[in-house]
Chain A
Amino acid sequence: MRASARRRPPRKVAPYVFLAPAILLFAGFMAAPIGYAVYLSFRATKVSGLGLGKGARREVWAGLANYRRSLADPEFVDSVGRVALYGLLLVPVMMGLALLFALLLDSGRARGRGFSRTAIFLPYAVPAVIASLLWGFLYLPDVSPFAHVAGQLALPSPELMSSRYILFAVANIALWGGVGFNMIVLYTSLGAISSDLSEAARLDGAGERQIALRIKVPIIAPSLIMTFVFSLIATLQVFAEPTTLRPLTNNISTTWTPLMKVYRDAFTRDDVYSAAATSVVIALATLVLSFGFLRLVGRRAFGQEARP
């Protein structure tokens, strides 16, 4: 009697007590701002007359007008296309290199493993803005040491920030910074594979390459999928690299990527309403893409965990 009376209330309350901080933080710092952004996306300012002086501007309900404007905006459509191309270029190369480096480091023959691992990972620790400035200097022909060396050798040096190469130039910075992170994730999960498996395969006559492709890669598939989703989201959110490079070249517009357009609308044009609408669109697209992909590969990715 006494024991049960003591036990019952905590059982109902305890979970909520434990969850409360997370729920409060989520509500305060995630749900509320998202809700406010959605609210703003349905609003607009209405101007009367010249828009000067007191009361010449007021906020009104705009319905879906901001969304319509945002989706029909050729600048937005262009930026989406550009980022799609950028993703097609960046994600496979980044994932491929990360996997290759992870497998090489994991293979028994690798020497200087600790050094190589750190060397590949280190660029990830460099903030994107600094990385972009650094690469920007390397790209600019007038100050680039590469161009200088090429000039001394009488070799032509391509203008890496011309309209032709700019997409590659930006993707290269993201690649330089991103490979290390993905490599570490994959390398860590490779390390978790029992060495018995490789040994058994070796006894069966499998070479290193076969072991890598037929045994290691399928086992780390969940990690591969996770890093892929992270890379996908990072691609959709590309902002820091092009924004930092923009003052150095004519070939990056202020709406080069969707997030740059949001930033410009909100802070250059002082139109938070259409910026909110565009960001809601981007958030939904990210959600659909990442969950869609997880759904598509879900059984494969989490098959092992689901089995028992």
Chain B
Amino acid sequence: MGRRGFAAIVIAAALLATGCSGQDQPEQQATGPVSLTFWTWAPNMDKVVALWNQKNPDIKVTVNKQDGGDPAVTKLLTATKAGSGAPDVMQAEYQKIPTLVAAEALADISKDLDPAVAKAFPEAVWGGVTLGSDAVYAVPQDTGPMVFYYREDVFKRLGLQVPKTWAEYAEAARKIHQADPKQYLGTFSAADAGWFAGLAQQAGASWWGVDGQSWSVAIDSEATRKVADFWGGLVEEGVIGNKPMYTPAWNAGLNNGTQVGWVSAVWGPGVLEGNAAKTAGKWKLAAMPQWDAGKEATGAWGGSATGVTSQSKHAVQAAKFAAWLNTDPEAVRALAQISGVYPAATAGQTDALTTPPKFFANQPDFYQTAAKAAGTVAPFTYGPNVNVAYNAYNDAFGKAADTKKKSAFLTALTSMQATTIKDLTDGGFTVAK
């Protein structure tokens, strides 16, 4: 015995002590300081989070900057599968939430959230984080209601009215292209499935649906066909472009005046400023052209929410932070002004955004028009295999846009629907016919 026995007792006691504290962890940490990691790609988010860290020394949040939505989701899914490596808090685009929930990457935080949080957001936006259930998988952060940007100078020169309906849009596209064969009012982008989904949303489509315990897929629906037919027609006529957006060629087109309109979302000014600095002050924002004059509706392109991952050991604190970030007036103002996002919180849209973005200094009512659009976003349900459907869109519509045939656009839609359903049934989901 002697010294060695004593050492053994000390070690055993130490092990016991740590073992106990390990079990008591949740209670201890409810009061003790914790640190959380936050994966996000919104610019300057660290500065917004600094406000939180100042006020909440007990819950320190560290921002881990990500490359963008898709790579971050891939990393999170991998970490979930591996059982470790996920952050506590995660920025996730709305269309990725069903996928993340299905993969058990996001935690249900309905118990940890104040019920009043739901009231801060428009109903359609809130539906995107609950997936129509009692669970809450994230707190909405920003939204991307779709709007229409156009070059005011070009419209004035040609004596054109801002299109109120899609028929007028088509007419304007024809006139602009006739006046200058190099100029286009827009392009059909086969690389941006989210953009097309937003257009379908405006027309009244909802690509997925829940029917009891089975999913339904309505990509190839009346409403979407109307949209595909319209854009396919314009491409076939040759009055709008057929090249994808965000290519060097498209960026150059915005700047050199060959792209004089852009069907996009409220976050557009950032893109325009980055790519078309030469045209500052010449653009204007308008509501989306409508299918039925007098009926106001729009879709959403982009937008994300703040979720708590299933691996977080501090879900309570993480949920508290997510709620603060997206509902606290100071945080929302910082999000809008420092990080440049269009906040999802209804109050934030009018209180935090009073002056127009620098690039749109010529349009004082920029955010009033945007807020009006935000109020007209049509409901839309995303499914558990959005990634597959979007991928099918890229492949099928890429071919269709290249052939410049209207009929090919409708075939592409059929193929997209078939691919999406096949993937669901292959994965073992029940799909309602």
Tell whether, in the assembled complex, residue B249 and residue A247 are in contact, meaning their CB atoms are under 8 Å apart.
no
Known: A162-B402, A247-B244, A268-B391. A51 touches B427 (CB 8 A): yes
Tell whether, in the assembled complex, residue A143 and residue B387 are in contact, meaning their CB atoms are under 8 Å apart.
no
Known: A49-B430, A51-B427. A270 touches B103 (CB 8 A): yes
- Within 8 Å of chain B (Cβ to Cβ): is A17? no
Partner of B249, one of A47, A57, A143, A163: A143
- Within 8 Å of chain A (Cβ to Cβ): is B10? no
Which of B135, B252, B402 has the most chain A CB atoms closer than 10 A to its own CB? B402
Partner of B398, one of A47, A52, A250, A269: A250
> Chain A residues near B104 (CB, 8 Å)?
54, 56-57
Q: Which residues in window 179-217 of B have CB below 8 A to A?
A: 190-191, 210, 213-215
> Chain B residues near A56 (CB, 8 Å)?
102, 104
> Chain A residues near B103 (CB, 8 Å)?
57, 270
Tell whether, in the assembled complex, residue A140 and residue B249 are in contact, meaning their CB atoms are under 8 Å apart.
yes
Q: Which residues in window 385-433 of B have CB below 8 A to A?
A: 385, 387-388, 391, 394-395, 397-399, 401-402, 423, 426-430
Tell whether, in the assembled complex, residue B387 and residue A57 are in contact, meaning their CB atoms are under 8 Å apart.
no
- Within 8 Å of chain B (Cβ to Cβ): is A304? no
Nearest-Cβ distance from residue A32 to partner chain B, whole angstroms: 15
Partner of A267, one of B74, B99, B214: B74
Bound Cα distance from A267 to B428, whole angstroms: 19
Tell whether, in the assembled complex, residue A69 and residue B426 are in contact, meaning their CB atoms are under 8 Å apart.
yes
> Chain A residues near B307 (CB, 8 Å)?
none
Tell whether, in the assembled complex, residue A57 and residue B102 are in contact, meaning their CB atoms are under 8 Å apart.
yes
Interface residue count for B (Cβ, 8 Å)?
A: 47
Bound Cα distance from A144 to B318, whole angstroms: 49
Interface residue count for A (Cβ, 8 Å)?
A: 36
User: Which of A85-93, A184-192, A251-259 contacts its partner?
Assistant: A251-259
- Within 8 Å of chain A (Cβ to Cβ): is B98? yes
Task: Select from chain B the residue with minimum beta-carbon distance to A141.
Answer: B249
Nearest-Cβ distance from residue A70 to partner chain B, whole angstroms: 12
Tell whether, in the assembled complex, residue B427 and residue A142 are in contact, meaning their CB atoms are under 8 Å apart.
no
> Chain A residues near B244 (CB, 8 Å)?
247-250
Task: Select from chain B the residue with minimum beta-carbon distance to A274.
Answer: B426
> Chain B residues near A270 (CB, 8 Å)?
74, 77, 99, 103, 387
Tell whether, in the assembled complex, residue A143 and residue B252 are in contact, meaning their CB atoms are under 8 Å apart.
yes
Q: Which residues in window 189-239 of A have CB below 8 A to B?
A: none
- Within 8 Å of chain A (Cβ to Cβ): is B23? no
Tell whether, in the assembled complex, residue B428 and residue A48 are in contact, meaning their CB atoms are under 8 Å apart.
yes
- Within 8 Å of chain B (Cβ to Cβ): is A137? yes
Tell whether, in the assembled complex, residue B427 and residue A49 are in contact, meaning their CB atoms are under 8 Å apart.
no
- Within 8 Å of chain A (Cβ to Cβ): is B243? yes
- Within 8 Å of chain B (Cβ to Cβ): is A53? yes
Q: Which residues in window 202-259 of B have CB below 8 A to A?
A: 210, 213-215, 242-244, 246-249, 252-253, 258
- Within 8 Å of chain B (Cβ to Cβ): is A46? yes
> Chain A residues near B133 (CB, 8 Å)?
52
> Chain A residues near B102 (CB, 8 Å)?
47, 51-52, 56-57
Tell whether, in the assembled complex, residue B247 and residue A248 are in contact, meaning their CB atoms are under 8 Å apart.
yes
Task: Select from chain A the residue with minimum beta-carbon distance to B396.
Answer: A253
Tell whether, in the assembled complex, residue A269 and residue B429 are in contact, meaning their CB atoms are under 8 Å apart.
no
Tell whether, in the assembled complex, residue B131 and residue A52 are in contact, meaning their CB atoms are under 8 Å apart.
yes
> Chain A residues near B384 (CB, 8 Å)?
50-52
- Within 8 Å of chain B (Cβ to Cβ): is A157? no
Tell whether, in the assembled complex, residue A269 and residue B77 are in contact, meaning their CB atoms are under 8 Å apart.
no
> Chain B residues near A250 (CB, 8 Å)?
190-191, 242-244, 397-399, 401-402
- Within 8 Å of chain B (Cβ to Cβ): is A82? no
> Chain B residues near A51 (CB, 8 Å)?
102, 384, 427-429
Q: Which residues in window 65-122 of A have CB below 8 A to B?
A: 69
- Within 8 Å of chain A (Cβ to Cβ): is B72? no
Tell whether, in the assembled complex, residue A47 and residue B131 are in contact, meaning their CB atoms are under 8 Å apart.
no
- Within 8 Å of chain A (Cβ to Cβ): is B101? yes
Annotate A123-149 by CB proximity to B: 1 below 8 A, 0 otherwise: 000000000000011001111000000
> Chain B residues near A254 (CB, 8 Å)?
391, 394-395
Bound Cα distance from A57 to B428, whole angstroms: 9
> Chain B residues near A248 (CB, 8 Å)?
244, 247-249
Tell whether, in the assembled complex, residue B215 and residue A50 are in contact, meaning their CB atoms are under 8 Å apart.
yes
Task: Select from chain A the residue with minimum beta-carbon distance to B215.
Answer: A50
Known: A45-B428, A248-B247. A142 touches B391 (CB 8 A): no
Nearest-Cβ distance from residue A203 to partner chain B, whole angstroms: 59
Known: A142-B249, A143-B248, A269-B423. A264 touches B391 (CB 8 A): yes
Bound Cα distance from A137 to B251, whole angstroms: 12
Task: Select from chain B the residue with minimum beta-carbon distance to A48.
Answer: B428
Nearest-Cβ distance from residue A172 to partner chain B, whole angstroms: 18
Tell whether, in the assembled complex, residue B248 and residue A137 are in contact, meaning their CB atoms are under 8 Å apart.
yes
Tell whether, in the assembled complex, residue A45 and residue B248 are in contact, meaning their CB atoms are under 8 Å apart.
no
Known: A52-B131, A267-B74. A253 touches B398 (CB 8 A): yes
Known: A47-B429, A50-B213, A143-B248. A251 touches B101 (CB 8 A): no
Task: Select from chain B the residue with minimum beta-carbon distance to A133.
Answer: B248
> Chain B residues near A50 (CB, 8 Å)?
210, 213-215, 384, 429
Bound Cα distance from A268 to B98, whole angstroms: 14
Bound Cα distance from A269 to B388, whole angstroms: 6
Task: Select from chain B the residue with minimum beta-carbon distance to A52.
Answer: B101
Task: Select from chain A the residue with minimum beta-carbon distance to B395.
Answer: A253
Extra pairs beyond A48-B428, A251-B402 (9, CB < 8 Å): A56-B102, A57-B104, A247-B247, A248-B247, A250-B244, A251-B398, A253-B394, A268-B391, A270-B77
Q: Can you show 16 pairs from A to B with CB atoms below 8 A apart?
A: A45-B427, A47-B102, A48-B428, A49-B213, A50-B210, A51-B428, A51-B429, A52-B131, A52-B133, A57-B102, A142-B249, A248-B247, A250-B401, A250-B402, A255-B395, A268-B388
- B residues in contact (CB < 8 Å) with A: 70, 74, 77, 98-99, 101-104, 108, 131, 133, 135, 190-191, 210, 213-215, 242-244, 246-249, 252-253, 258, 384-385, 387-388, 391, 394-395, 397-399, 401-402, 423, 426-430
